[in-house]
Structure formats: structure tokens, C-alpha cells
Chains A and B, each alone.
Chain A
Amino acid sequence: MINSLLKRFTDHTPSREAAKKRLKITLICDQLEVNDSILINLQSDIIQVISRYFEIDREALQLEFQRDKNISTLAFNTPILCVKKELGSAVPDQGDKGGQESYKKKKK
């Protein structure tokens, strides 16, 4: 109780979440042997492509990593605000998976 009160006054931000997030990204990079800038470029490309067809909330975009014994999955999740009207009908049948793109590679 005292601790949590103190925390409120000192505006303590727990570092654990930061550690976990950094680790997950680092491990994916280690495993795929790609660097951070590739992931950042990939992310901005994906945002560009999706936002051609949908209004998305760029702030809420999340990178998620799931790891299994053999497979790593990199998922981009974004809430879709609405379909862009002017392009909605002319869309070819790609990029319609609810804003989720996966990138998989077998673990060595």
C-alpha cells in the first residue's frame, strides 16, 4: 500500500515490460539474422500498403512475436477504422486480412 502510494508520487514506470519487449525483438532479429532497420522498414511498408485501402490507427499498431519450437511468427496488428471509400471498389483481392501480415521462417 505504502509502496504503491509512493510509486504514484514518484511516477515509477516498471522496466520489466520494456525488457520483455526489447528481448522479443532482439531474439527475432537474432534468429532471422535481420537487423532492426529491416523490421522498421518492413513495418512502414506494411503501414503504407494497408493505408492505401483502409484508414488505420497508426498509433495503435502493434508488433507481436510468437515463438514455437520450429517457427517464429511476426504479426502486425492494427485496428481498422474504416475502408477508404474512393478505393474500396477498385481493390484487388490482396491486403484484406484484417491488417495482419505474417512473416515466418524456420528456426535453424
Chain B
Amino acid sequence: MRCKLKGRIIVITSGKGGVGKTTATASIGAALALEGKRVAVVDMDIGLRNLDVVMGLENRIVFNIVDVVNGKCKPSQAAIRDRRIENLFLIPASQSDNKDVLTPAGMERVGKLLKKEFDYVLMDSPAGIDRGFENAVVSADEAVVICTPDVAAVRDADRVIGLLYARSITPKLLVNRIVPEMVANGDMLSHEDVIDVLSVPLVGLVPMDQQVIISSNVGLPLVMQNDSTAGQAFRRIARRINGESDLSIQVPHHQKGMWGMLASKFGKKE
């Protein structure tokens, strides 16, 4: 066991399902490991595990987080090492149990163990605000709330933010799947709108990107695709989490086509 300062546990949560928690967890975890940190990503969605397939590690599962909490194995035995990225480990969820097999007390104890072995532990929270959420958040020092720019996701994010404040955690906001063209046309909430409504600090903005689907199809880390705009955005977010708080937040902009380029040229002359 490594003797070092305590690691940080960050819960990735959203309230609403399908906004990109798992992709964000896999990507930020991979990016932190590429920064040289020892990282564990933990799938807390007991019964509906997905982080393993997104990361391409589904064939190597032996133990899972439920085994760790029940004392069947040590955290290091359940942690699957990613072969492409050094220092990146996955602790998968159990697929056969339901979320009630874990207790907040058990997760708090395991959280302390994990902190001793890793610099960062990312908890991939399930959707919802019931027991599964509680288990994911109980040991967390920090939280990243993922939100897409639509009314349902923002409303649920607001609810989760309230619950996190109640636990004395000031969450950071990640706005995911921004479509710059729609924002420019006034048909999508801008990140300013979302921040205005939720009033929490921002950790980053991620554009809608087809590469997210493509890399999850093949189980490759998104952050290693240099042509992925979302992957690059996640890398900047990881750097910001990892202490580079001055790193500016890039607003996704739309790639102008020929007409757009012409229009902006004419626009300047006017």
C-alpha cells in the first residue's frame, strides 16, 4: 500500500439519466491518468453497469464494488487495470444485485480505503436521487454535476445541486452536448443561461460530438482521439480539476461552412 497524502473522491452525478455521466467519468478519469495521476473510476450503477463497456474492459471483470464492500476481496483485487492508459483502474458494478445491497456506511468505509491507494477516485453515480445516489455521494469530497442544455436536465440538476449543498459539497457544473449552431440560432439554452439558472461554478463545456458514440462502439478512450472535440474538452476539464484552475474555459463554437464564412466576412465590412 502506498503511503501518501489522501486522494480525492469526486462523484459524477446529474439526477437525470442519459446526460453523459458515464462518458464523462470514463473520459475525465482517463484524462487525469494521462496527467500522471493514479485514478480509479468506480461504477456505482449497481444492476445496470455500463462503465465497463464504455471503457472496453467488460471482458476482464473478476470482482466488483459489491464484493469489495462485502469484504470478499480487497479494492486492489477488484480494480481492473486499463492496458492503454497507465495508472487508470476500473472498479465495476455488480450486474446481478440491486442498489439496495450497498449501504452508505459500507461505501464510506470503502471510500476511505480507496483514498489511500489512488490520487483520484471518480464515482459514476446512477440516475435518480435515491439509495444509489446516496451510496455514490456518501464518501465524496467533491462533485461534478453533468447537465445537458435542456429544461428536463437542468431541472434535475438543480435538485441534485440542492442535495449536494445539504451535504456541504459545492458542486461544479459540466454542461454537456452543447450544439453551437442551435445556441447561435437561439434554439438551445446557452451555457450562460444554464449557469444563470443554476448558479454554481462551471468546470467545463463539452460540445456534442459523434466521436462519443464511435469510441464507445469500440471501447476506446475518447480522450485519446485527437480529432474528438468532446475528448479534448474533457482533457481540459481534467486539467482544471487537477489544479490548473486558471485554464480558460473554451466555449464550443460552430465550424462555419462556406456560407457562414462569407456571411461573417460581409458582416465585418458592414
Contact = CB atoms under 8 A, between A and B. Distances in A.
Contacts of A68: 199
B263 A67 contact: no
Of B189, B190, B260, chain A has the most CB atoms within 10 Å of the CB of: B189
Contact of B186 (A16, A22, A107): A16
Contacts of B48: none
The interface centre, meaning the residue of A14, A15, A20, A22 with most chain B CB atoms within 10 A of its CB, is A20
Nearest to A107: B162
B155 A3 contact: no
Contact of A69 (B188, B199, B260): B199
Interface string A58-79: 0000000001110000000000
A51 interface: no
A23 B266 CA distance: 37
Interface residues of B, number: 26
Contacts of A2: 259, 263
A22 B187 CA distance: 14
A41 B205 CA distance: 39
B48 to A, nearest CB: 26
Contact of B185 (A14, A27, A108): A14
Interface in A1-38: 1-3, 7, 12, 14-17, 19-20, 22-24, 26-27, 30-31
Nearest to A15: B187
Contacts of A107: 162, 165
B267 interface: yes
A30 B159 contact: yes
Nearest to B183: A16
Contacts of A23: 151, 154-155, 189, 197
Contacts of B97: none
B266 A1 contact: yes
Nearest to A26: B155
Contact of A20 (B193, B262, B267): B193
Interface in A37-57: none
B5 interface: no
Contacts of B189: 16, 19-20, 23
Contacts of B183: 16
Between A3, A12, A19, the greatest number of chain B beta carbons within 10 A of the residue's beta carbon is seen for A19
B6 to A, nearest CB: 27
A77 B150 CA distance: 27
A23 B260 CA distance: 31
Interface string B159-194: 100100110000000000000000101111110010
A19 B158 CA distance: 15
Given A2-B263, A14-B186, A20-B189, A26 B199 contact: no
Contact of B158 (A17, A20, A22, A27): A27
A34 to B, nearest CB: 16
Nearest to A20: B193
- The 3 nearest A-B residue pairs measured at CB: A14-B186, A1-B263, A16-B186
25 contacts: A1-B259, A1-B266, A1-B267, A2-B259, A3-B185, A3-B260, A3-B263, A7-B185, A12-B185, A14-B185, A14-B186, A14-B187, A16-B183, A16-B187, A16-B189, A16-B193, A19-B150, A19-B193, A20-B197, A22-B151, A23-B151, A26-B155, A31-B162, A107-B162, A108-B166
Given A2-B263, A15-B187, 8 more contacts: A1-B259, A16-B183, A16-B189, A19-B189, A20-B197, A24-B197, A68-B199, A69-B199
